[in-house]
Structure 1
Amino acid sequence: MKRFVLLLAIGLITLLAACGGDDKESTSAGVSESEVTDEVWEKIQDEGVLTVGTAGTLYPSTYYPEDSDELTGYEVEIQREIANRLGVDIEFEVMGFDAILTALDSGRIDMTAMGLRGERKEKFSYTQPIKYSYATMIVRKDDHSGINSLEDLEGKVAGGAATTVYSEIAEKFGAEVKTYGNATNDAYLRDVHNGRTDVVINDYYLQSLAIQAFPEFNIELHPDLKFHTSTASIVMPKHADKLHQEVEQIVADMLEDGTLKKISEEFFDGQDVSVEPEEDIIEIEGIAK
């Protein structure tokens, strides 16, 4: 297991609307499937290239294996397969997580993979989920950092990033958030181990893998606290109607034919993140989904 940064990611599901008539699927604007187009789709077809924005440092979703310059990961390989099924090449632009949606909005990239919540859901187009998850906490093993409930976060120091839902949760319950730049897992987890911070709140699947890489640290996943369900989707510009239509269908096909499950099991230690977890999850009032 290599040492990479935590994925901060959370989002919601949407489906294409359809209505009958002449066996042609229609968009919400009443345009038949064969007539739907958009500038993003036309550019991709003209250039023969799908440009994807990704962080490249978020194991196991988007990362470079040690001693390799070949980008890989769960999200990366899904988007490679989407490009393959579209019949175009793919180019990845590696950038900071917070810059990806700006690049998507400006037209620098055509697509990304992440979760959207709150107002961001209204600004972009997105597919049904490619990943379901929930939040957990990494705490010190010997005393769980004094945290036995979400309310016990009050007065604690949480390692995280300033603009994520995980930091919002920490702050809602009274924790101070210690922010990091493009740091690797060892920076986050070592600080919990040595007491500089008390907790890291993040995605269950990612934290369960990250923690395995540091058996020497006095840390573990909190055994009792599972909260705030989340999803991640393929995200595109708001008015990229044809691209959305095509990618939505490909994601549905990949779910049905088992491709999502196969890729998930490769990167998530045999676990299938493409289906909803069967867990009793605490939902937090006032945190946007």
Structure 2
Amino acid sequence: MRKWLLSILILTLAVVLMACGSDDNEESSNEEEAASGDSKWEEIQEEGELVVGTSGTLYPASFYPEDSDELTGYDVEIMKEIADRLDLEISFEEYGVDGLLSAIDSGRVDVVANDMEVTNSRDESFDFSEPYKHSYATMIVREDDLSGIETLEDIEGKVHGGGATTVFAQIAEHYGAEIESYGNVTNDVYLRDVENGRTDLIINDYYLQSLALQALPELEVTQHPDLQFHPSDSAIVMGEGEEELKEKMDETLNEMREDGTLTELSEEFFGGKDASQEPEEDVEEIEGLDL
């Protein structure tokens, strides 16, 4: 009886030790993998390709020209130039704005370039390159009555059209607007909905809105003449802690800034304006909104 009990105790102890040993080995293995595992930059180098997430519907950052199946735009051409200078092939994966960051998390893309604004909340989960675009927000409203909006406070109770997770939607909600969310649609859909009254306003980037209006002059909508607010920087987004990848992106962007490539691309896509430089306009900061 005593021998039987002793055997059971020894067997039980062995199982416990085996289990503990297994956990320790697994943790040790995971730690070793984390320490010695390939970084995203090493993975990109090994594949020889940079996979970029973008929308393909955001003129002039990422879009298809009429009668063309060739993706282009300010952000797209910047990424093509970066890949070329880093001796990499490049491919683009298209997602709606609300799905771009999750595409980084899932590993479907290496980086995102889609006029993505640097914010405090995004910076908690992702890393950003140095900015390649400096701008601010304006709003598109109906031409005849400015959608009844004279100040930012007048947004309360109005309907804002745009992606639900964008900074611009957060600004609209901050002032009490209702959000009408869209999928991955083109600019004319947003603008026509303001014109026909389905929505009242679209808060978005100054440069993007200026060019969208130029492209669709027949629509009876306009940029609000008196409201310039929320200065912003746009940059390449990548996974958190990818220091080597960030270093490569920053080095290449700085080269492109110094040799005039960023200015040249900006002037090409933003009607002769240099969005790679800080704006000179007096732009209102929004208080009480942590972005």
Sort the TM-score into its range (normalised by shorter chain).
Answer: 0.7 to 0.9
CA contact (8 A) 1:53 1:100 kept: yes
Unaligned runs of 5+ in 2: 1-36
Q: Residue 173 of structure 2: which of 171, 174, 186 is its match?
A: 171
CA distance in 2, matches of 1:101, 1:122: 13
CA distance in 2, matches of 1:168, 1:158: 10
1:31 alignment counterpart: none
Which residue identity lines up with residue 94 of structure 1 in the other structure?
A: E
- Match of 1:57, SS state, is coil
1:248 alignment counterpart: 250
- Match of 2:183, SS state, is coil
Give the TM-score normalised by the residue count of structure 1.
0.84
> Structure 1 174/198 Cα, relative in aligned 2: closer, same or farther at 3 Å?
same
- Match of 1:119, SS state, is helix
2:64 alignment counterpart: 64
Q: Give 1 or 2 for the bigger CA radius of gyration.
A: 2
Q: CA deviation at 1:155?
A: 1.9
Q: CA deviation at 1:286?
A: 2.2
1:53 aligns with 2:50: no
1:39 alignment counterpart: 39
1:95 alignment counterpart: 95
CA distance in 2, matches of 1:67, 1:191: 24
CA contact (8 A) 2:134 2:275 kept: yes
CA distance in 1, matches of 2:168, 2:152: 12
- Match of 1:58, SS state, is coil
Residues 148-187 of structure 1 mapped to structure 2, 5 A cutoff:
148-187=150-189
Q: Residue 227 of structure 1: which of 229, 241, 257 is its match?
A: 229
Would you tell me which structure has more helix in proportion to its own residues? 2
Q: CA deviation at 1:137?
A: 0.9
Which residue identity lines up with residue 134 of structure 1 in the other structure?
A: Y
Q: CA deviation at 1:240?
A: 1.8
RMSD: 1.7
CA distance in 2, matches of 1:143, 1:154: 16
CA contact (8 A) 1:38 1:241 kept: no
CA contact (8 A) 1:38 1:243 kept: no
Q: CA deviation at 1:107?
A: 2.1
Count of equivalent residues: 254
Q: CA deviation at 1:46?
A: 1.4
Which residue identity lines up with residue 126 of structure 1 in the other structure?
A: F
CA contact (8 A) 2:98 2:163 kept: no
- Match of 2:235, SS state, is strand
Residues 1-289 of structure 1 mapped to structure 2, 5 A cutoff:
38-113=38-113, 114-289=116-291
Q: CA deviation at 1:38?
A: 4.8
- Match of 2:236, SS state, is strand
| Deviates further, 219-228 or 65-74 | 65-74
Which residue identity lines up with residue 59 of structure 1 in the other structure?
A: Y
Deviations 1:46-78 (A, max 9, x none): 121111111111111111112212111101110
Unaligned runs of 5+ in 1: 1-36
> Structure 1 140/177 Cα, relative in aligned 2: closer, same or farther at 3 Å?
same
Q: CA deviation at 1:288?
A: 2.7
Q: Which structure has more RCO (C-alpha within 8 Å, separation ≥ 6)?
A: 1
CA distance in 2, matches of 1:121, 1:178: 26
Q: CA deviation at 1:189?
A: 1.1
